[in-house]
């Protein structure tokens, strides 16, 4: 008789342990949307994957050094509904992105706007 309450307790604790990291991952507080930055660079990789589409690109800094960045967008399902697919960007494409930079200084951003090749324009809503 005492096994069922214990099993429920163990399951509840397990779910709570998983819920914390999941909510932190989707938290918009990772990025500084109040102070967006604008970068122009070259796409090195385009990942149309869950949980968020990723655009890997390289930018030259003020000293001419190549810096690797990653722009995170919405999930593929949302991007697909907005006309995107896995072939919309290819390595070598020139892009200009505006986004909220990672508050921890990593070279990641939450994409707010993209201007790309072939008339591609995207603004996050």
Instruction: Write down the domain spans for the chain.
Output: 30-123
- % of the chain with per-residue pLDDT over 70: 79
Residue 3 has phi, psi (to 5 degrees) of -70, -35
Give the C-alpha separation, 4 to 74, whole Å.
41
Rg of the chain on CA atoms, in Å: 19
Q: What is the DSSP letter of 88?
A: S
In tens, the pLDDT along 14-62 reads: 555 544 444 445 566 789 999 999 999 999 999 999 999 999 999 999 9
Tell me the two tokens of residue 85.
């697919």
For domain 30-123, the CATH superfamily is: Nucleic acid-binding proteins (2.40.50.140)
CB 53 within 8 A of CB 47: yes
Tell me the two tokens of residue 86.
């896995």
pLDDT of residue 19: 46
Query: What is the average per-residue pLDDT within 64-87?
Result: 96
Query: What is the average per-residue pLDDT within 79-101?
Result: 96
């Amino acid at each position: 008789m005492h096994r069922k309450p214990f099993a429920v307790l163990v399951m509840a604790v397990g779910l709570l342990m998983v819920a914390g990291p999941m909510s932190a991952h989707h938290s918009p507080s990772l990025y500084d949307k109040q102070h967006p930055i604008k970068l122009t660079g070259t796409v090195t990789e385009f990942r149309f994957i869950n949980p968020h589409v990723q655009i890997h690109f390289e930018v030259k800094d003020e000293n001419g050094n190549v810096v690797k960045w990653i722009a995170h967008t919405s999930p593929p399902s949302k991007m697909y509904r907005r006309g995107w697919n896995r072939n919309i960007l290819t390595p070598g494409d020139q892009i200009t992105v505006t986004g909220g930079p990672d508050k921890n200084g990593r070279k990641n951003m939450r994409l707010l706007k993209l201007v790309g090749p072939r008339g591609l324009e995207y603004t996050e809503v």
